[in-house]
Structure 1
Amino acid sequence: MFDPTAFENMRVVMDGIFYDKDLSGEIIITDRNDIMNTAKLSRSYDLSFQLPSAEQESVTCKFTLSAGLENFTAEMLRLSDELAGCIVVIEFTLKHEYSEPLFLQIEEMLTSIWGSKRAIKLTVCRDSIKARKKAYYTGIVSFNRIIHEEQIDDLTEMTDYMLLTLEKLEGITLS
């Protein structure tokens, strides 16, 4: 038996939380990937979900946990406590009509929920040929630092912020 890495421990905890929320009816899991890249010796886990009230593909949250070779070696060889951990990225996707005011509203809402210390990147993509009015807004929340195993409790609390963000974004789609 081997000692699991921080990545495995955090992945198992987050997987359990998401599936508990799915079983209780709080969310609907729509996709899950657990990838080992043997060329780069990296791991990536992502899980996408929606609220049960969401229209198909209207508002989605994707939680991604990743660790590269530098994170693994720092942990296993005890080289650097700062690198021994994972990167967390949370992505929200919203399908809605395109408008500049809506873009600014989403940006302000993400900042109010996640705080100004987080890196928040908001993009919009439109299909200019088919449906000029429909657009996909993607908000990415990242933390600009390695998340360590000791912060698993913070990760579990983050799920409440993810659900709140989905509720707010869904409110935008209904208006």
Structure 2
Amino acid sequence: MFDPTAFENIKVVIEGDIYDRDLSGEIIVIDRNDWINAAKLSRKYEISFTKKGYDPGLLSATMTIEAGLENLSAELLESVDAKQLAGCLVGISFSLVHQNEINIFEEVQKVLTEIWGEDRAIRQTVMLEALENKSPIQNDVKVAFNRLVYEEQIDDLSEMVHYMINSLEKIKKIIL
């Protein structure tokens, strides 16, 4: 019998939680990608959503999980030394469009630090028209955990979805 990998188990739980919230009308799933890289023997899954009633072109959230060859082999080989690699990388990101004003960047940083904690690396990257210094701009915000997530922490991932929704609500108040 096939024993699913940590990546597969985590993906199924995340996907189920997010689609349950979509079916209840709390959020709207706007994109989903599931990649297998045959050259590097890696997997990547991402799912994006926004709150019901929000414009997905102006504000959305994405959860990404990734597992590389080292993660899969650590799990399948089950050596004691490799067990620490038998997990996935999880990333959270937000895409928002807002005016190019420093106070908005500072408020977004402050709110996300309050929600996700001081230990998280929160990075804002801006895209704008280089020859036209006009607003609004596209701000891609990444919340990095800089560690692997293991199957034993699956329940924490459902809590992360709640934090993502809370983040969307607070960011919307800032960018409007």
Q: Tell me the secondary structure at the aligned position of residue 147 of structure 2.
A: coil
Identity %: 48
Letter in 2 for 1:86: C
Aligned to 2:27: 27
The structural deviation recorded for 1:129 is: 3.5
Letter in 1 for 2:113: T
CA RMSD of aligned residues (A): 1.2
The structural deviation recorded for 1:67 is: 0.2
Kept in 2, the 8 Å contact 1:58–1:173? The answer is no
Asked whether 1:61 is paired with 2:44, we answer no
Asked whether 1:96 is paired with 2:98, we answer yes
Aligned to 1:161: 163
The structural deviation recorded for 1:105 is: 1.1
The structural deviation recorded for 1:56 is: 3.7
**TM-score using structure 1 length:** 0.95
Aligned to 2:154: 152
Alpha-carbon distance between aligned partners in 2 of 1:41 and 1:56, rounded to the nearest angstrom: 32
Alignment deviations for residues 114-170 of structure 1 (CA, whole Å, 9 cap, x no partner): 001112111222123457111111110111100000000111111110000000111
Letter in 2 for 1:78: E
Runs of 4+ in 1 over 2 A off after TM superposition: 128-131
Further displaced range: 126-135 or 109-118: 126-135
Alpha-carbon distance between aligned partners in 2 of 1:147 and 1:17, rounded to the nearest angstrom: 17
**TM-score using structure 2 length:** 0.95
